[in-house]
Amino acid sequence: MPRNIFFHNPQCSKSRQTLDIVKQKGIDIDVEEYLKTPPTIDELSFVCQYLNIKPTEIIRTKEKVFTELNLSLSDVRSDEQWIEILRANPSLIERPIVIYNNKAALGRPLENILKIIE
């Protein structure tokens, strides 16, 4: 079972709101600034598995690096290849993401995170 993790970007308002919620509720969770310490391959795979989504569904396509790498969501790549791209380029990861008690949630909207921490 993965540890409880909140992938946090202090520059993101939704991420800051999530951090406030986690603190208010006294949730025991590791706060990781994922731009400094990117999620592991296993963590990214877990998030996709538990959200029942493809890695391309958590990619921020409007980030500059997406264009710089000449990426397209229509590129023929395996899930593993997309996860490697996310790991190598964490700014492409949609946020905020919480892994808590063997569940994962993408905080868009924030209510998704409330569902797994309450």
- List the chain domain ranges: 5-117
Q: What is the pLDDT of residue 59?
A: 97
The one catalytic residue among 12, 27, 51, 65: 12
Distance of alpha carbon 56 from alpha carbon 73, whole angstroms: 7
Instruction: Look up the pTM and report it.
Output: 0.88
One CATH from 3.40.50.720, 3.30.70.420, 3.30.2130.10, 3.40.30.10 for 5-117: 3.40.30.10
Q: Is 12 a catalytic residue?
A: yes
Burial degree of 65 (CB within 10 A; 0-12, 13-18, 19+): middle
**What are the pLDDT digits (tens) for 64-110?**
999 999 999 999 899 999 999 999 999 999 999 999 998 889 988 89
- Identity at 52, one-letter amino acid code: N
The single-letter DSSP state of residue 59 is: B
Distance of alpha carbon 109 from alpha carbon 96, whole angstroms: 10
